[in-house]
Homo-oligomer: A and B are copies of this chain.
Amino acid sequence: MYDEQSILAVKGAATHERSPATTAFAQVRDTTLSLARPLSAEDCQVQSMPDASPTKWHRAHTSWFFETFVLATHLPDYQPFNPRFALIFNSYYQGAGPQFPRHLRGTLGRPTCAEIAAYRRHVDDAVMRLFEQHLDRAPDAAALIEVGLEHERQHQELLLTDIKHALAQNPLQPAYRELSFAPEGETSPLRWRSFSGGVYRIGHSDPNDGFAFDNESPRHSVFLEPFALADRPITNREFLTFIDDGGYDDPRWWLSLGWDTAQREQWRAPLYWHPHPEGWRTFTLAGPRPLHLDEPVCHLSFFEADAYARWTGARLPTEAEWEVACADLPLDGNFLETQAFHPHPARQTPSNALRQTFGDVWEWTASPYTPYPGFEPWSATLGEYNGKFMCNQFVLRGGSCLTSGDHIRSTYRNFFAPQARWQCTGLRLAR
C-alpha cells in the first residue's frame, strides 16, 4: 500500500549478525506492517464503532508506546518524531498526558498512513540504535522493549478484529484478503474430562519463566471443587440448536443485563451471522461465506456464552479451573501464524484430552476480571496498562486464530466487557 519496507530489509544486516532481541523486534514490527498491507489508505482510516480503532491508529499508537515508554527514558538524545503526536496516539494513559476522545479516532485524517509509516521508521531506527548500543541489555530497557512487543502483538489482533468489524458493516461486504478455509469434517461428540478438587497454584511465578503481564501475578493458591471441562469448544452446529430451541427468546437462560442487551440490540444469532435462503451465512475476513457447522462458534458475547451454558445445564469454567486444566498442555494451535484468520474445526481424537485450548477462539470464563491476591501493578504510568480495568469485565483464556502464538501462555488473562462480540470469542463448557 504505502511504500513501506520491512525493518529487516531496511536494516540490511545479515540475519546471523542480529541478536535474538533485534530479530524479535523486527519480526513483530514487520508483522504489523504485513497485516496492514492488504488494506487501502481509506480502509486504514476507518473506525466503525467506538470500541474499535483505525488501522493507522494502531500502527501509530504502538510506535508511540515505544517512544514514550522505551525511547524517551532509555535512549539518550532521542528526538520524538512529532511531540504533538502524543495528543492523538496516547490511548488511555493519564500519566502520559491528555487523550483524544477515543470514539473520534476515525475523524483524524492527519497524519496520513505515509506519515505514520515514516513515524514507524523513525521509531524503528531509534530502537535499533538502542540495540546497537547494547542498551537493551540493561534490564529495564530490555523489559520495556518486551512490553512494547507484547503490546504490539495485542494491537495486531485488534487491528484484525477492528477491520473485520468495519468491513462487515459495509453493504458491499468487501474482503480483507482471500483465505483458504479448512475442509468440512465431522466433529466428535462432546466429551468431558474431570479434574479433582483441592488447593492449586495458578498465576505466573517467576520473571525467569518468561514474559507475563502484571495481572498474571503473583502466583497464588486457590481452592477448587472437583470439576470437569468439555474436551473442545462448542461448535456452530451445537449453538444452532440453542437458536432453534428459541434460546434468544427465553429469558430463563439469560443474565438480566444480558437479556436487556440482547433485546435492545435485537440479537438473534452470534455477531456476523446472517440468515440466507440457503442457510446461515457468516462474515469472515474473506467476505461472506456459508456457515461451517463444525467450526467453533465465534463472536459470542459473554452473555450468549453464559446463556448457552445455562441452557445445556452446564456452566462456564472459572479462570482458575481453565488454567489448572490447561497449564501443562502444549502451546500450539491455530494462531495468527497459520494465516487461517478463522477458527478451525476440532480435529477428531480418540481420547477426551482437551483440544483447541490455545488458538481458534478465546474462551469466555465465568470469572470477572479482578486482581490476584497481592497484585502489584507495574510501576509508574505503565501501571495503567491492566490494573485500572478490573471492573465490569470478564476474563477470556487461550487466545484465538488472530492471536500471535508467541503471545499466549496458560496464565494469560484477556478481558472484555460482557457485551463485547467483535473479538474471536467462543466458549467451552464446564460442570
A257, B391: Cβ atoms closer than 8 Å: yes
B257, A109: Cβ atoms closer than 8 Å: no
A19 contacts partner chain B, Cβ-Cβ < 8 Å: no
A42 contacts partner chain B, Cβ-Cβ < 8 Å: yes
**Cα distance, A113 to B56, chains bound together (Å):** 17
Taking each of A42, A112, A113, which has the highest tally of chain B beta carbons within 10 Å of its own beta carbon?
A42
Chain A, 219-243, contact with B by CB distance < 8 Å: what is the 0/1 string?
0111111000000000000000000
A100 contacts partner chain B, Cβ-Cβ < 8 Å: yes
A 390-406 contacts with B by CB, 8 A: 390-392
Which B residues are CB-close (under 8 A) to A288?
none
A251 contacts partner chain B, Cβ-Cβ < 8 Å: yes
A222 (CB) vs chain B CBs: closest residue: B223
A138 contacts partner chain B, Cβ-Cβ < 8 Å: no
A4 contacts partner chain B, Cβ-Cβ < 8 Å: no
B254, A388: Cβ atoms closer than 8 Å: yes
B220, A46: Cβ atoms closer than 8 Å: no
Choose among B44, B114, B174, B225 the residue that contacts A110 (Cβ–Cβ < 8 A): B174
A16 contacts partner chain B, Cβ-Cβ < 8 Å: no
How near does chain B come to A220, taking the closest CB pair, in angstroms? 7
Which B residues are CB-close (under 8 A) to A45?
41-42, 45-46, 109
Which B residues are CB-close (under 8 A) to A366?
370-371
Which B residues are CB-close (under 8 A) to A252?
94-95
A87, B171: Cβ atoms closer than 8 Å: yes
B171, A84: Cβ atoms closer than 8 Å: yes
A256 (CB) vs chain B CBs: closest residue: B388
A175 (CB) vs chain B CBs: closest residue: B110
A106 contacts partner chain B, Cβ-Cβ < 8 Å: yes
Choose among B44, B106, B391 the residue that contacts A46 (Cβ–Cβ < 8 A): B106
A166 contacts partner chain B, Cβ-Cβ < 8 Å: yes
Chain A, 248-260, contact with B by CB distance < 8 Å: what is the 0/1 string?
0001101111110
A 78-102 contacts with B by CB, 8 A: 84, 87-88, 92, 94-95, 100
A108 contacts partner chain B, Cβ-Cβ < 8 Å: yes
**Cα distance, A108 to B174, chains bound together (Å):** 10
Which B residues are CB-close (under 8 A) to A368?
368, 370
A111 contacts partner chain B, Cβ-Cβ < 8 Å: yes
Given contacts A171-B100, A251-B94, A255-B388, contact A223 B223 (CB under 8 A): yes
How near does chain B come to A272, taking the closest CB pair, in angstroms? 16
Which B residues are CB-close (under 8 A) to A24?
none
A40, B112: Cβ atoms closer than 8 Å: yes
How near does chain B come to A110, taking the closest CB pair, in angstroms? 4
Which B residues are CB-close (under 8 A) to A258?
391
A47 contacts partner chain B, Cβ-Cβ < 8 Å: yes
**Cα distance, A366 to B171, chains bound together (Å):** 39
B225, A172: Cβ atoms closer than 8 Å: no
A42, B43: Cβ atoms closer than 8 Å: no
Which B residues are CB-close (under 8 A) to A374?
225
How near does chain B come to A213, taking the closest CB pair, in angstroms? 16
17 examples of A-B residue contacts, CB within 8 angstroms: A41-B41, A41-B113, A42-B110, A43-B109, A46-B109, A47-B106, A87-B172, A88-B170, A88-B172, A94-B251, A199-B223, A220-B225, A221-B223, A225-B374, A254-B388, A256-B384, A368-B370
- Which residues of A pack against B, CB within 8 Å? 39-48, 56, 84, 87-88, 92, 94-95, 100, 104, 106-114, 166-167, 169-172, 174, 199, 220-225, 251-252, 254-259, 303, 366-368, 370-371, 373-374, 384, 388-392, 418
> With A43-B110, A84-B171, A303-B391 given, can you name 12 additional A-B contacts, CB distance below 8 Å?
A42-B45, A45-B109, A47-B106, A48-B104, A48-B107, A95-B251, A108-B172, A109-B170, A223-B223, A256-B384, A258-B391, A366-B371
